[in-house]
């Protein structure tokens, strides 16, 4: 494979793992050169492009090139034209257009991938989402400060950054600053270390930076606990901005009243505006988040597999996304078709235990079809003849009973039926089992056939 083809193929592979914006920003302008010693040199358009791609995507590049090139390559990074001075980063070609939201977002410390467009709203985050979008439309007006709290991996960082990204899109002239409370602390420490600045005052640079914000977004504020000087600076920053009706948004892993080692005058300010918590997503929201991710990335993941992952991973959205990726990469690496069985195998590793029985849906369906002498399409189809309705309901019951697959996924599997239909079928069969009917005998027989395989 020549260098152009190799890099093109690798870029396609890389593209599968990224959303459009970072892909376009970082990869689209690159080229590659293959050296005699099997080093693939990625040629970037400028120094900033080179730094970022290397810092953020080195291992993804390594594995993608190896995969499409079918052997190991060394990867190196170069810049096409002489590297510009680092202090002029903002003027490098990548960021020349001031109107380009990526530019402003990056300068504000925001990751452009965190947008409202790819944030899925559900019961668990409804209030926080509504307030966040409203703030993004009219910063500094109605909800100030806005305090978001939730457990880890439930979307705080995504939401607070979505506010920043949208504001920059709609109001490019506003100054948005996104930082974590650790960044904030670092800036305090740095200012102290530097001592008095040119104007003869301590902390002046620090204050200039934060007090020019129209929108100040501080993520994970809980880490200011026990840091007195940081708390003091935050207190003054807060007051200065608040008085000028500048928007302040904070996130935390707990509500203000649960803080320890944070001064009362600060926590009471956190509480003075509006607060919203976010809960763990329920099954429907988890499935919706994964479906959206699949569609965005153009992954070929069937709904029933997505539903299966959403059913198994209930902890938080970050782990949910991790499981999704695990299922996808496992199937790709092993050349498996992406079905519930291959997902089961992939997730066994994650949960550290066998997550489901060994019978699979297809085996159950086939056994039922053999038993009643009908075709799979009769069960998956729409016809409501008696000779199909019963086997269909038996299938619903056995799939639920033997694999604990969620109703929604069974519905998807059986020709796109609604989960309430599946639930009804399962209940009906449970009723039959309490009687001495022929159906009860059928179910017992079919179970025996299923386990004879």
In the bound state with ligand ADP, the residue whose beta carbon lies nearer, of 159 and 446, is 159
Binding mask 151-170 for ligand ADP (x = CB under 6 A): -xxxxxxx------------
Task: Say whether residue 317 binds ligand ADP (CB under 6 A).
Answer: yes
Task: Say whether residue 157 binds Mg ion (CB under 5 A).
Answer: yes
* Binding residue for ligand ADP, selected from 271, 318, 345, 440, defined by CB under 6 A: 318
Binding mask 115-154 for ligand ADP (x = CB under 6 A): ---xxx----x------------------------x-xxx
Q: How far is the CB of 152 from Mg ion (least distance, A)?
A: 7
CB 395 within 8 A of CB 379: yes
Binder of residue 150, out of Mg ion, ligand ADP, none (CB less than 5 to 8 A by kind): ligand ADP
Number of residues forming the site for Mg ion (CB under 5 A): 2
* Tally of residues, the chain: 453
**Which of these segments, 148-156, 184-192, 225-233, 375-383, binds Mg ion (CB under 5 A)?**
148-156
Q: How far is the CB of 187 from ligand ADP (least distance, A)?
A: 21
Q: What is the largest CA-CA distance in the chain?
A: 93
**Residue 252 backbone dihedrals phi, psi, to 5 degrees:** -160, 160
In the bound state with ligand ADP, the residue whose beta carbon lies nearer, of 106 and 219, is 219
Binding mask 363-392 for ligand ADP (x = CB under 6 A): ------------------------------
**Which of these segments, 64-72, 151-159, 228-236, 397-405, binds Mg ion (CB under 5 A)?**
151-159
**Residue 309 backbone dihedrals phi, psi, to 5 degrees:** -60, -45
Q: Is the previous residue joined to 145 through a cis bond, with omega within 30 degrees of 0?
A: yes
Question: Which residue sits closest to Mg ion, CB atoms considered?
Answer: 157
- Calpha distance 87→201 (Å, rounded): 25
Task: Say whether residue 321 binds ligand ADP (CB under 6 A).
Answer: yes
Task: Say whether residue 289 binds ligand ADP (CB under 6 A).
Answer: yes
In the bound state with ligand ADP, the residue whose beta carbon lies nearer, of 119 and 178, is 119
- Number of Cα atoms under 13 Å in the Cβ half of residue 101: 17
In the bound state with ligand ADP, the residue whose beta carbon lies nearer, of 110 and 410, is 110
**Contact residues for Mg ion, defined by CB under 5 A:** 156-157
**Contact residues for ligand ADP, defined by CB under 6 A:** 118-120, 125, 150, 152-158, 289, 317-318, 321
């Amino acid at each position: 494979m020549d260098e152009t083809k190799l890099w093109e193929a690798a870029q396609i592979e890389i593209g599968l793992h990224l959303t459009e914006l970072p892909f376009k920003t970082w990869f689209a302008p690159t080229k590659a050169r293959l050296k005699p010693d099997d080093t693939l040199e990625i040629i970037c358009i400028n120094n900033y492009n080179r730094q970022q791609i290397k810092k953020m995507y080195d291992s993804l590049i390594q594995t993608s090139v190896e995969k499409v090139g079918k052997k190991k390559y060394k990867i190196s990074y170069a810049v096409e034209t002489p590297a510009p001075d680092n202090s002029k980063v903002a003027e490098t070609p990548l960021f020349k257009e001031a109107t380009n939201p990526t530019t402003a977002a990056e300068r504000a410390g925001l990751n452009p991938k965190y947008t409202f467009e790819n944030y899925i709203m559900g019961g668990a985050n409804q209030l926080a989402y509504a307030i966040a979008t409203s703030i993004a439309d009219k910063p500094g007006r109605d909800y100030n400060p806005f305090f978001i709290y939730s457990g880890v991996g439930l979307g705080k960082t995504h939401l607070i950054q979505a506010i920043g990204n949208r504001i920059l899109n709609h109001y490019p002239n506003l100054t948005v600053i996104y930082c974590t409370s650790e960044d904030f602390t670092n800036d305090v420490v740095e200012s102290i270390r530097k001592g008095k600045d040119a104007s003869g005052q301590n902390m002046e640079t620090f204050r200039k930076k934060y007090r020019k914000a129209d929108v100040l977004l501080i993520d994970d504020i809980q880490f200011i606990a026990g840091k007195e000087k940081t708390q003091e600076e935050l207190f003054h920053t807060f007051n200065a901005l608040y008085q000028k009706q500048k928007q302040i948004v904070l996130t935390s892993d707990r509500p203000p009243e649960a803080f320890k080692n944070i001064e009362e005058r600060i926590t009471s300010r956190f509480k003075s505006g509006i607060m919203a918590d976010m809960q763990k997503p329920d099954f429907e929201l988890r499935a919706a988040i994964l479906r959206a991710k699949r569609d965005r990335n153009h992954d070929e993941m069937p709904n029933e597999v997505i539903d299966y992952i959403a059913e198994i991973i209930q902890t938080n959205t970050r782990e949910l996304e991790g499981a999704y990726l695990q299922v996808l990469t496992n199937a790709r690496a092993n050349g498996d078709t992406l079905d519930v069985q291959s997902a089961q195998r992939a997730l066994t590793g994650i949960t550290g235990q066998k997550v489901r029985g060994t019978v699979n849906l297809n085996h159950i369906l086939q056994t039922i079809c053999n038993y009643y002498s009908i075709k799979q399409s009769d069960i998956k189809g729409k016809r409501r003849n008696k000779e199909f309705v019963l086997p269909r309901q038996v299938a619903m019951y056995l799939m639920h009973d033997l694999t604990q697959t969620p109703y929604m996924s069974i519905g998807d599997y059986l020709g796109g039926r609604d989960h309430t239909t599946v639930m009804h079928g399962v209940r009906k069969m449970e009723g039959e089992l309490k009687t001495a009917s022929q159906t009860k005998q059928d179910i017992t027989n079919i179970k025996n056939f299923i386990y004879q395989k």
